[in-house]
Amino acid sequence: MLSYHAMEKPDKKGWQYILTIPYQTQDDLDDTIYDLLREAQSTADERHCFIEADVIALDGSDRSW
């Protein structure tokens, strides 16, 4: 799913990723972000791990999830 969103990792040793998420409405964007987080959590849980995530918009809007 991440490759679909043109995942970039600015610092190869870092923990941050940049995703490009196309959307038509704010609800579409919210749903996509929550789906990504659910999938990440599910994958981590299967491996007896967990995730920590902060999602912020990089469009200057101060939106976060």
Nearest of 27, 17, 1 to residue 58 by alpha carbon: 17
Mapping DSSP to helix (H, G, I), strand (E, B) and coil, where does residue 8 land?
strand
| pLDDT tens for each residue of 12-63 | 999 898 999 999 999 999 999 999 999 999 999 999 999 999 999 999 999 9
Confidence of residue 7 (pLDDT cuts 50, 70, 90): confident
Residues with Cβ within 8 Å of 56's Cβ and at least 6 positions away in sequence, in order, are: 63, 64, 65
Confidence of residue 4 (pLDDT cuts 50, 70, 90): confident
**Residue 18: DSSP 8-state:** B
Extract the tokens encoding 49: 């791990």
pLDDT at 1 over 90: no
What's the whole-model pTM score? 0.79
Sorted by where each begins, the domain ranges of the chain are: 1-12+19-65
| Residue 32 · residue 17 · CB < 8 Å | no
